Chain A
Amino acid sequence: MNSKIILEARDVRYRYPGDQEAIKGISFHMRRGEKIALVGPNGAGKSTLLQMFNGMIRPTSGTILVNNDPILYDSTSLRQLRKRVGYVLQNPDRQIIAPTVYQDVAFGPANLGYDEQTIRSAVATSLRHVGLIGFERRPPHQLSGGEKKRVAIAGVLAMNPDVLVFDEPTSGLDPSGSEDLMELLDELNHEGKTIVISTHDVELAYPWADRAILLTDGQIIREDVPDVAFGNPRHVRMAHLSVPTLLELSVELGKRGFTIPARKPRSVLDMVHVIENHLHGTCVHPSPGTILVGNVDEADTGTLSAWAKARPGLVIGAMGTRAKQCAAQEQIALEFTYGVIDKCILRALRGQDSLILTTGSMVGRVTIRVEAYGRESGNAISVEILSSANQPPVSGQTDDEV
């Protein structure tokens, strides 16, 4: 992750006209490539603060800096700012303004002065990213809530911003839609985008964010990595939140003699590692399973089905919207659609194989995550990258080699 500061707030204050102060002296920064969760109860000032990042709201005092430059509020500067900082509103109906999906997603590029060919390319890329290829002529009022949210995201992605700001991104979505959306945010972050979300869902923020900022009554209570930010019950109470379940469980297990690592468990995989180590001294099967990875971008028709039959009893997961769509087209039943890598690692620890279908940009992420787990836990799990020519799988290839 590039450590350069991309967004910074310095003693920012804001008072709504005729009302009390909504933001009371907030200072913090975000680094390029980070995933930041702004967590707080309703009325904490999250949305107000987020709207300052792209100049929709001007602080009463204090400064917002983007790439170390203070925001200027003339129209030209704001246009430049909003190209770099994309904002996705909580209610997609407030963001989707055009009568068709294509026109809405093309809105940003068209107003940035791109030529027709560039606009079409930007729209196609964005829609492919959010899994809405083929929706170009659909009117927004005929879309589901999750599809509208994706159109809103695509409309911002088409402008290729450096920072993406989401106000309550999973609001109004069902659990499956929420999982898909968070996975999309992970994918975008993996491509280098800095992501900021506001939420009051601690169970969402805790495993996802690199850093969590607890906000209440217009002030920051705590800003730190999630297990520290949520780890102080007093701060969590002040923010009218609850301690994430996994964190609470790890604290209780720690009190009962379990060895909890310095970096508290943030996922089921981490927790299983703690429990298994305590109970058995190890958490790995004598013969760990293998994680196969298939790149859907390189797959021909029928290739996915061939991969699915590569080994008996193979369980399949898909990462990314496009991978899930490809699997659906070939009628491949998916066991995992969220937290796929961790779930496949858990299977491998029990000596079982699994297959991850994903896009080209995410193949390397699987290898990196599994290797990182191996270094932290001391449990080596092999990753095999499948090729579309049905050649023998190549063991342990990195993303560069693929």
Chain B
Amino acid sequence: MIETNLDSVAQQSTFRHINTGTKLILALGSLILCLLSPSPVVPLISGIILSFVLIIPGRTSPFLYGELLLGPAVFAIMSVIVLLFMLGGGEVIWRFNPMPWINLTITYGSLRESTLVLCRVFGCSISLFFIALTTPMTDLFNSMKRIGIPIELIDLMMIIYRYIFIVSAQAVEIWQAQVMRLGYGRPMEAIRSFSMLCGMLFISSWNAGEDLIHAMDCRCYNGIFPSLDIAEPVQMRSLIPVLLYLSGLTGVLLMMTTGG
């Protein structure tokens, strides 16, 4: 069964056949610029442009995209709320003093810093989502090999990648079997069921590991894990817009920096 997950979205992405290096330059370049920017403008612009690219030409489902953003958004908002009251500097905008010992204030300084953090999270998350939604892990493994990451580490990552889906499918099946028998109806039952699920998954994974060794031995494993050296060539029609975009973003960053 083909699950709708990040990997399947990446496999079917319109940008799948663009050179992985080009996409990494775009995403990592945006990420670095977002982190370097002293102003929220650059991460905001970066996030909006990349989102537009993902949804319109990339044809990523807006609903799926929104669901994905929800995770970092929730964490970012919770963190920003704390930062608003913890950071200080400048004139007080709002004060909450219900008790003598409770003094919560929001200042212009904290508002500025919190906005910057929120926009950075927004921009950086979207940069990483761009890679996740356009580049399957299998393509990333090839790129890792090309840049010299130790082959043993890549082999391990490939095996783990393969088994993530097997184990997650088993987890879903066990969970569904438990739900069908009201295993999560009450809190204590839920805890018991969940612990059983974890135990079963552990045993299943252990057996899968044994089977993996057998499967590899059956095919004369001698320490070699072949790689799929099929890489899309670098194309100017995709590289040039990326470079122009990054140059523009850098220009905005410099303007924000020198402009104060």
Contacts and interface: CB of A to CB of B under 8 A. Distances in A.
A89 B138 contact: no
B180 interface: no
A133 interface: no
B260 interface: no
B215 A113 contact: no
Contact of A98 (B7, B166, B220, B225): B225
Interface string B134-149: 0011100100000000
Given A56-B214, A100-B138, A111 B222 contact: yes
B158 interface: yes
A94 B141 CA distance: 22
A151 to B, nearest CB: 12
A112 B216 CA distance: 12
Interface string A88-128: 01000111111110110011111111000001000000000
Interface in A313-366: none
A108 B221 CA distance: 7
Contact of A79 (B220, B223, B226): B220
A155 B2 CA distance: 22
A127 to B, nearest CB: 13
- Counting chain A residues whose Cβ lies within 8 A of the other chain, the interface size class is 35 or more
A237 interface: no
Contacts of A136: 228, 230
Given A94-B215, A136-B230, A112 B220 contact: yes
A137 B158 CA distance: 14
A141 interface: yes
Contacts of B2: 141-142
A6 interface: no
Contact of A111 (B161, B211, B220): B220
Contact of A108 (B11, B166, B214, B220): B220
B224 A82 contact: no
A102 B228 contact: yes
B211 A94 contact: yes
Given A78-B217, A99-B162, A119 B138 contact: no
Interface string B150-168: 0000000011011001100
Contacts of B169: 141
A141 B165 contact: yes
B171 to A, nearest CB: 14
Contacts of A83: 220
Interface in A178-232: none
A87 interface: yes
Contacts of A138: 11
Contacts of B216: 97, 107
A54 interface: yes
A99 B226 contact: no
A89 B8 contact: no
Interface in B161-186: 161-162, 165-166, 169
A142 B11 contact: yes
B137 A99 contact: yes
B162 A140 contact: yes
Contact of B226 (A106, A139, A142): A106
A87 B216 CA distance: 11
Nearest to B159: A97
Chain B CB within 10 A, most for which of A86, A98, A119 = A98
Contacts of B162: 96-99, 139-141
Given A79-B220, A159-B220, A93 B166 contact: yes
A296 interface: no
A139 B141 CA distance: 13
A130 interface: no
B221 A111 contact: yes
Interface in B202-260: 208, 211-212, 214-228, 230
Contacts of A94: 208, 211-212, 215
A383 B44 CA distance: 73
A156 interface: yes
A110 B226 CA distance: 6
Contacts of B141: 99
Contact of B166 (A89, A141, A142): A141
Given A56-B214, A136-B230, A139-B11, A99 B138 contact: yes
A83 B154 CA distance: 26
B230 A107 contact: no
Nearest to B210: A94
B11 A155 contact: no
Interface in A152-170: 155-156, 159
Contacts of A156: 218-219
A86 B217 CA distance: 11
Contact of A107 (B166, B211, B214, B226): B226
A100 B138 CA distance: 7
A99 B3 CA distance: 16
A97 B228 contact: no
Contacts of A113: 222
B219 A82 contact: yes
A97 B225 CA distance: 10
Nearest to A88: B218
Contacts of A139: 7, 11, 136, 138, 162, 165
Given A103-B158, A110-B224, A137 B138 contact: yes
Given A95-B218, A142-B11, 12 more contacts: A56-B217, A78-B217, A82-B219, A82-B220, A98-B158, A98-B162, A98-B225, A99-B141, A103-B226, A107-B226, A111-B222, A141-B166
12 contacts: A97-B159, A98-B158, A99-B161, A102-B226, A102-B228, A102-B230, A107-B216, A108-B220, A112-B220, A139-B138, A141-B166, A159-B220
Interface of A: 54, 56, 78-79, 82-83, 86-87, 89, 93-100, 102-103, 106-113, 119, 136-142, 155-156, 159
